[in-house]
Amino acid sequence: MYTQNVTIHNEVGLHARPATFFIQKANEFKSGIWVEKDERRVNAKSLLGVLSLGIVQGSTITLLADGIDEKEAVDALCELANNGFGE
């Protein structure tokens, strides 16, 4: 299992459009990937799950992955978040 924390910096947080980019990136990997916020954990490949966390600007989330490409998956999702989800 590989884990990393990332803070969301984009102005509107992880709303529908950036969440879609996030899920598309997560689905490029074979590993199981989860997002944790405030002790709630959801599947990072589920749009409804990710949106249900209510991730706003300044939120720190934990990305967890388990599988053959776990490090690559978490690193790619952290990079996407750090780049503001292309916004």
Domain boundaries, the chain: 2-86
* CATH code reported for the domain at 2-86: 3.30.1340.10
**Contact assessment for residue 55 and residue 13, using Cβ atoms and an 8 Å cutoff:** yes
Order of all β-strands in the sheet with 60-66: 2-7, 60-66, 32-37, 40-43
* pTM listed for this prediction: 0.93
Rounded average pLDDT over 26-49: 97
Rounded average pLDDT over 40-63: 96
Q: What are phi and psi of 27, to 5 degrees?
A: -75, -5
Count of CA atoms in the C-beta half-sphere (13 A) of 26: 25
Report residue 85's pLDDT band, with 50, 70 and 90 as the boundaries.
confident
From the candidates 9, 13, 15, 46, give the one annotated as an active-site residue: 15
Burial bucket for residue 50 (CB in 10 Å: 0-12, 13-18, 19+):
buried
9 is catalytic: no
pLDDT given for residue 28 in this prediction? 98
